[in-house]
Amino acid sequence: MDTSAADTRAGTIRIEQFPAGLEDGRPDARTMGWFEAVRAGFHDGAPQPGHVGAYVAAYQADRRVLWGAYDDGARPGAWGPDIPVATYGSLANTMNVGGGRLVPTHQITAVTVRPTHRRRGLLRTMITTDLEQAAGRGFAVAALTASEATIYGRFGFGAAAFTRRVEVDVRERFALRAAPFGTMELVDPASMLELAPRIFAGFHGRTTGSLDRQFSYAQVASGRWQSEKPEPNPDLRVAVHFRPDGEPGGYVAYKFAGWHSEPHTMKVVDLVAASEASYRELWRYLGSIDLVQRIVWSAAPADDPLPWALSDPRSYRVTAEEDALWLRILDPVAALEARRFEQDGSLAFAVRDPLGLAVGRFRLDAAGGQARVERLDASAAVDLTLDVDVLGSLYLGGARGRTLAGAGRLEGDDAAVGRLDRLFALASAPYCITHF
């Protein structure tokens, strides 16, 4: 996709959409300029052509669309007009919305605006155009991971799934209460090119809130790429859990923080388990590594079973919590009819949407795990009124209506809020370990 300069404008700035590209085997000038702007926006060093070439192949596999906002005004000494003053990107993958139901989801990434060009409506122009296009292509939900929590609410995104950063003391007191299950094996990281997607598919199918992963994840798990650049990672180790039937059920990729770390620390790079039993065994393995006193992981689930599995739960410590996934409902009817409902019931509600994409009044009737949603007349009575970002936070059960009502984020009486919570509750909290 490539829009001409005349198609989309924000003031005097032209905005283009295009795929990452190569020219004679090297990144083309437009792609190099885009990466230059993105890396500046996230305070990274200048891009290397060899690295960008690897990313181009990955972005093409992901079918990413890149956006650049260009200022053609000539200013002596300034970056040239081939480097955008604002960037944006999008791709699509499936999201588990409960009960193993996988829904195509529009994902937003690489959002930057140069400090010299703020307050000109560049982000608003790109994100509103993109969301309108995504809705027009039939996406019911959009998603992003937010570097700043104050930006995306005004565009209708609400925090929907959360993770924890945890530290686990694995000295003498570390032990699990449950009996061992299956076997653990240290593997050649290269084998993860095939195993990582296969194991993740099991996790994805059972985990509400999970987003399928882009090309780079298998590269990192295999040690072919580091987390921050597409170069080999010689420090990476990978262990795989095999069930008693011989099938792989989980893996953990990790690296030592160095002998200078006190206490001696192992960092989890990626941990994926297709079952609770595999999850326990990955931790049993981590706790058995010699000469290590602490395990650090930044993507533990909000309702982590690990402290309940430990003989000494006090060896588990939460050091931070993060909103890992933000959702934006584009089509309330399609989005709500797609997700699983574990309770039967009915609710009428009104949605406010500053962009007008999801605005309206609706009635939801859930029975047997499935919902039927109909659009109501503008004058119809409703039980609740809420903004579209609140609906995004409620969508996967990651936030409770009573909490949001107490925060002044939705309007309705106690009985209606209680009915909302019963209807939207799921057996487990949403959990997303895919960043994009």
Q: Which of the residues are catalytic?
A: 152, 436
Separation between Cα atoms, residue 329 and residue 395, nearest integer Å: 8
Q: Are 61 and 212 in contact (CB under 8 A)?
A: no
Instruction: Decide: helix, strand or coil at residue 16.
Output: strand
- Give the torsion through C-alpha atoms of 287, 431, 342, 405, to 10 deg: 120
d(CA 102, CA 282): 26
234 is written with which tokens? 């010689």
CB 296 within 8 A of CB 170: no
Instruction: Show the CA angle centred on residue 76, arms to residues 74 and 82, nearest 5°.
Output: 50
- What is the layout of strands, in order, in the sheet containing 370-376? 370-376, 360-367, 345-352, 384-387, 410-411
Using an 8 Å Cβ cutoff, are 172 and 222 in contact? no
Q: If DSSP codes are grouped into helix, strand and coil, which group holds residue 42?
A: coil
Q: Is 237 exposed, middle or buried, given 0-12, 13-18 or 19+ CB atoms closer than 10 A?
A: middle
In the numeric block, the tokens 């990274």 are attached to 44
Distance of alpha carbon 22 from alpha carbon 329, whole angstroms: 35
Coil, helix or strand for 418? helix
Tell me the C-alpha distance between 213 and 62, whole Å: 9
Residue 435's CB is within 10 A of a number of other CB atoms, namely 16
Residue written as tokens 């996406």? 139
The one-letter code for the residue type at 299 is A
Q: What string of DSSP letters covers 359-402?
A: -EEEEEEEETTEEEEEEEPTT---SEEEEHHHHHHHTTTSS-HH
- Cβ neighbours for 225, distance < 8 A, ≥ 6 positions apart: 54, 216, 219, 231, 232, 233
Strand, helix or coil for residue 246: coil
Question: Do 163 and 324 form a contact (C-beta atoms < 8 A)?
Answer: yes
Binding-site entries for acetyl-CoA: 111-113, 119-124, 147-148
